Amino acid sequence: MSIAQPDRRRFVVASVLGALAFLLFLEITAWRVAGVFEYPLDDVYIHLAMAEGLWAGSYGVNPGEISSAASSVLYPVLLAPVISPEFQRLLPLFWNVAGLVLSAWLWAEVLLAAGYGRAGLRRVGLVLAALGPIALQMPAVAFLGMEHALHTAASLAILLGVIRHLKGQPARGLLFAGILFAPLLRYEGLGLVIAAAGVLLVTGQRRAALSAVALGVVPLALFSAFLMKNGLDPLPNSVLAKQVGATDTDLGSVAQRLAAFRRNIGQGGGALVLGFVLGSWALYGLDARLRAGPMRWLAVFVIVAGLGHLAFGQIGWLNRYEHYILVITAGGFLVLLANSALAENWRAGVLLGAAFSLVAPGVVYLREVTFGYRYNPRAIHLQQGQMARFAQDYWNAPVAVNDLGRVSWNNPNHVLDLWGLASPEALRLRLASQAGRGAPGGWADELTRKHGVRLVMAYEHWLGDAVGKDWVVLGDFWLDDRRGFLGSDRVRFYATDPDAVAQIMPALDEWVKTLDDGTNFQFAEVTR
C-alpha cells in the first residue's frame, strides 16, 4: 500500500515537531530551576571523559591508564572531537537531538507501514504520531544526554526493517544499518539482532540471517578482543558493574533470570513492556488471519525481544534502560493491531489498543518527567559541578570518588573511581566485598595509596567497609533541596591519612567561601 506524500509529511512532521516541542519544554523548565545549562545525569561526563582520552590517543578516563568506563562502544567516539571543552560539552545535546529526530521520524514511518495512513485509521494514526513519542519517553530520554536516544533510533530501524521485509518491501539497507549500530550503542541491541536474524531465517533468508548476526556480533567481538589484549575483562566495567546484584550471586543461572524477570515486571516500565508483549501475544493467539500471514513473525519478534529484555536487561534509572524495548514492543503491538481483524471488524478495539499505548505510559512516566525532571540538572550542577570545581581549581591533585563523571571530565589529574567503572581493581574488590568473598575491610586504602590519592569525596553509604582505618573525616557537603536524581544529597570528604589534613584544609576553606546558594559544607570537629 502506497502512502500519499502529503499524508507521509503530516505523520512525520507531527511526530518530529511534537517530540522536539516537549524536549524544548523540558530544557526550558530545567534552565529556569537551575539557572544554567546542565545535564540531568552525571553519567554524561563519563562518556565525555572517555572521549577526551580517545582524542588524546588513549582509551580511558585517566591518561596512560586503559579502562572501559563507558556503557557504550560507539558513544564516546561520537563525543571525541574535543575542539574545546565548551564545544565538546554540547555534543551530547547535539547527538540526542539528532537521535530524537531520527526516532520520531522512524516512529511515524512504522505507523505508516502498519497502515495507520489509510482511510479509517488516519486520524488515530496522526494522534499516535504526535503523542506516541512523548508518551513513550523519547524527548525525556533525549533530555538525559546519554546514548539511549540514538540506540532507540537504531532499534526502530530494525523494527521498521523487519516490518518492511515481512510486507515484501525493500528493507535490507535500513535493517542492516540498525543491526550494525544498535549493539555498538548499547549491548542490549544484541537481543534485537538475534530476534531480527530469526525472522530472516524463518522467512527463507538464511544468508541474510547469517550476515545480520555477523554484522551485529563481530564489531563487539573485536572490541572485546581489544579490551582483553589490554588486560581488561571482555565486557566494559560499566556493564559488569550493573549485572547480577549481590543478592543474586548464589542463585543458578535460570533462577537469576527468573529473579531478574520478577524484579523488572515489578516496576512500572517493566509492567508496560510485559503489557505490550501480552497484547501482541493475544492478537497472535486470537486472530487466525494474523496467525496465518507473514505478520505472525512480527508477533514472535516482539514477544521474544520483550521477554528477553525482561529476563536479561534492566528497568529504571530515569527510565532509560527500558526505553528502546518499550518503544519496540509498543510499536510492534500497534502494527499487529492495525493488521488484525479488529482493524476491519471492530474499530473500537483499535481505538482501545491505541489509547492503551498512549495512556498507560503516560500514567507511568509523565508526572515524574513533567514535574520532577526539571530538578535533576540543578542537583548535578550544585553537587557534582561544585565538586569538580573544587577538585580542579582548588585541590588540583589526584582525588578519589565513587560517582564518576563531572569530576573526571576536563581534569588533568588522576581520578580514582572507587565504584569501579574506571578501575577494574576497585570493581573486583567492591563486588567481592558485597558478596562476602574475602575483600579486606578498608580495601580502598591500598588503592588510594597506590595512586597517590590523599582526598576522597564519596557518598558514605556507598563506601561501606571500603574506608581506610587511618582516613580522617573532613566534613560533609550537602544540598538544602533534596529534589533531583543523585546517589545521595550528602557527600563526605576524607583525608586518606592524618598528614594530608593540613594540606587539604586551606583549599577546602577557600572553596567553601565560593559555594552556591542551596549548598553547605559542615566541617568535622576534628579539623577545627
In contact, 49 and 151? CB cutoff 8 Å: no
Amino acid letter for position 374: R
Closest CA to 298 of 515, 110, 522: 110
pLDDT in tens, 270-314: 999 999 999 999 999 998 889 999 999 999 999 999 999 999 999
Task: Could you list the beta-strand ranges (E) of 15-118.
Answer: none
CA-CA-CA-CA torsion for 268, 195, 189, 237, nearest 10 degrees?
A: 90
Which of the listed residues 355, 372, 389 is the one where a domain comes to its end?
A: 372
pLDDT recorded at residue 168: 92
Say if CB 309 and CB 316 are below 8 A apart: no
Number of C-alpha atoms within 13 angstroms, CB side, residue 255?
7
Please check whether residue 58 lies inside any domain of the structure. Answer: no
Pick the closest to residue 325 from 342, 346, 311, 339 (CA basis). Answer: 311
Distance CA 433, CA 440 (A): 7
Same domain for 434 and 332: no
Residues, the chain, total?
Answer: 528
Helix, strand or coil, per DSSP, at residue 37:
coil
Phi and psi angles of residue 89, each rounded to the nearest 5 degrees, phi first: -65, -25
Asked if 312 and 441 sit in the same domain, the reply is no
Q: Are residues 163 and 256 in the same domain?
A: yes
Helices 85-114 and 323-338, axial angle in degrees (round to 10) = 20
Residue 298 to residue 119: CA distance in whole angstroms: 23
pLDDT of residue 527: 62
Please give the Cα distance from 384 to 484 (Å, whole number): 12
Same domain, 342 and 388: no
The answer to whether position 336 is within a domain reads yes
Whether 396 and 488 map to the same domain: the answer is yes
Do 157 and 213 share a domain, yes or no? yes
Q: Which helix (H) or strand (E) holds 478?
A: strand 472-479
Strands 472-479 and 455-458: unpaired
pTM, full prediction: 0.94
Q: Which cell goes with 450?
A: 597506590
Q: Are residues 344 and 483 in the same domain?
A: no
C-alpha grid cell, residue 99:
537521535
How does pLDDT run across 7-16, given as a tens digit for each residue?
A: 889 999 999 9
The CATH number of whichever domain residue 379 belongs to comes to 3.40.190
Report d(CA 216, CA 205) in Å as an integer: 17
Name which of 516, 396, 377 is nearest 44 in CA terms: 377
Residue 335 CA to residue 107 CA, distance in Å, equals: 11
Whether residues 302 and 411 share a domain: the answer is no
Domain boundary among 338, 372, 406: 372
CA angle 211, 214, 215 (to 5 degrees): 85
Among residues 458, 454, 459, 448, the alpha carbon closest in space to that of 425 is found at 448
Cα–Cα distances (Å) from 290 to 274, 286, 295, 439, in that order, read 21, 9, 6, 56
Domain that holds residue 170: 5-38+71-240+251-372
Residue ending a domain, among 353, 372, 391, is 372
Residue 55 lies in a domain: no
pLDDT tens-digit readout, 215-265: 999 999 999 999 999 999 999 988 887 654 434 555 568 888 999 999 999
Tens digits of pLDDT across the chain (528 residues): 455 666 889 999 999 999 999 999 999 999 999 999 999 999 999 999 999 999 999 999 998 889 999 989 999 999 999 899 999 999 999 999 999 999 999 999 999 999 998 888 899 999 999 999 999 999 999 999 999 999 999 999 999 999 999 999 988 999 999 999 999 999 999 999 999 999 999 999 999 999 999 999 999 999 999 999 999 999 998 888 765 443 455 556 888 899 999 999 999 999 999 999 999 999 999 988 899 999 999 999 999 999 999 999 999 889 999 999 999 999 999 999 999 888 777 778 888 999 999 999 999 999 999 999 999 999 999 999 999 999 999 999 999 999 999 999 999 999 999 999 998 888 888 888 776 666 677 899 999 999 999 999 999 888 888 899 999 999 999 999 889 989 899 999 999 999 999 999 999 999 999 999 999 999 998 665
Same-domain status, 401 and 308: no
Q: Is 521 left (phi over 0), alpha (psi -120 to 50) or beta?
A: beta
Q: Is 364 helix (H, G, I), strand (E, B) or coil?
A: helix
Rg of the chain over Cα atoms, rounded to whole angstroms, equals 24
- Structurally, the chain folds into a number of domains equal to 2
Do 11 and 134 belong together in one domain?
yes
**How are beta strands 399-401 and 490-495 bridged, if at all?**
unpaired
Q: 47 in a domain, yes or no?
A: no
Question: Cell 543458578 identifies what position?
Answer: 252
Instruction: Tell me whether residue 339 is in a domain.
Output: yes
Task: Count other Cβ atoms within 10 Å, centred on residue 348.
Answer: 8
Cell 536516544 -> residue: 149
- Residue 169 phi, psi dihedral angles, 5° rounding: -105, 160
DSSP 1: -
Structural domain contains residue 325: yes
DSSP class per residue in 369-402:
HHHHTTHHHHHHIIIIIHHHHIIIIII-S-EEES
What pLDDT shows up at residue 251? 59
Distance in angstroms (rounded) separating the CA atoms of residues 121 and 143? 31
Give CA–CA dist 402/103, Å, rounded.
33
- Specify if 345 maps to a domain: yes
Contact yes or no for 162/368 (Cβ under 8 A): no
Same domain, 470 and 510: yes
Question: Between 172-185 and 189-202, two packed helices, what is the crossing angle to 10 degrees?
Answer: 150
The reply to whether 48 falls in a domain is: no
What integer pLDDT is reported at residue 258 of this predicted model? 92
Asked if 304 and 380 sit in the same domain, the reply is no
